[in-house]
Amino acid sequence: MSMKYARVIHQGATHTAGERDGQLLLDNGALVSPDAVTWLPPLQPTPRPRTILALGLNYADHAKELEFKAPEEPLVFIKGEATLTGHRQFTRRPPDVKFMHYECELTVVVGKTARRVKREDAYDFVGGYTVANDYAIRDYLENWYRPNLRVKNRDTCTPLGPWFVDAKDVPNPMALALQTTVNGKLTQSGNTRDMIFDVPFLIEYFSSFMTLQPGDLILTGTPDGVVDCQPGDVIVTTIEGVGELINTIQ
């Protein structure tokens, strides 16, 4: 039996929700419209703080797009949890910026404590997957290799969801089509098979020097095809078998 869930607010209360016939089945048994709820990032409450690790330049075509050589070691930065927002929510574009773009990313949700994990065992430590749209503001960028805080740590700059999909229901996370549309126009298309550093490598790499805890997130990077987004634009980031995440620029 497949397992995926969302977290939503309905009539002032927070619920875990599944899907039934295009409706949301709440944990209290109510069946409601997806439009009748406020969507949250699909993460169960965990002891704070949660670690959010994000990859830069993890697709060779995106590195080329930005005129950088593909990295020989993962380029990683840390994100704060206030960056996260839910499906169908708004992300603010500062009024003074000239270039703000989406990044459709497969996101790994760590399932159990991981320390010094070997590559061949890495998938045993993955709880599931979700979709992230990790916006970046190029105006504030000083170094692609280490984005400063204003580029990647703005409140609401990382929509996440709509679903957490159990790892058992994603048999090969390294062969998933992903795409982005802006106002219905296809602007980005790629496949997770083109990652420079795949999911097992990243689990082994991170756990070699730090402990990963249940609920920690790994955002695995984006392929080429990023474009500037303006207020009012509706951005849909989709990953095959994981979900379709909708966000609007405010």
Question: Which CATH number characterizes residue 6's domain?
Answer: 2.30.30.370
| Domain shared by 128 and 36, yes or no | no
Same domain for 149 and 139: yes
List of residues 6+ apart from 29 with CB closer than 8 A: none
pLDDT of residue 143: 64
Same domain, 130 and 166: yes
The CATH number that applies at residue 70 is 3.90.850.10
- pLDDT for position 151: 86
Same-domain status, 105 and 19? no
Q: Domain range holding 158? A: 41-249
Q: Is 209 in a helix, a strand, or coil?
A: coil
Give the pLDDT of residue 147. 66
User: Same structural domain for residues 30 and 111?
Assistant: no
Cα first-last separation, the chain: 39
Core vs surface per residue 46-83: b (16+ CB within 10 A) or e? eeeebbbbbbbbbbbebbeeeeeeebeebbbbebeeeb
Same domain, 172 and 241: yes
Please tell me the distance from the alpha carbon of residue 171 to that of residue 159, in angstroms, as a whole number: 24
Residues 153, 218, single domain; the answer is: yes
Residues 67 and 13 in one domain: no
Q: 26 and 50 share a domain?
A: no
Pair 201, 191 in one domain: yes
φ, ψ for residue 18, nearest 5 deg:
-110, -170
DSSP letter for 122, please. G
- The total number of structural domains that make up the chain: 2
- pTM score of the predicted model: 0.94
What is the reported pLDDT for 152?
86
Q: How many CB atoms lie within 10 A of CB 134?
A: 25
> What's residue 67's pLDDT?
59
| Residues 215 and 134 placed together within one structural domain of the fold | yes
pLDDT beneath 50, residues of the chain: none
Helical (H) or strand (E) element with 240: none
Q: Are residues 55 and 34 in the same domain?
A: no
pLDDT at position 242, please?
Answer: 98
Q: What are phi and psi of 64, to 5 degrees?
A: -65, -40
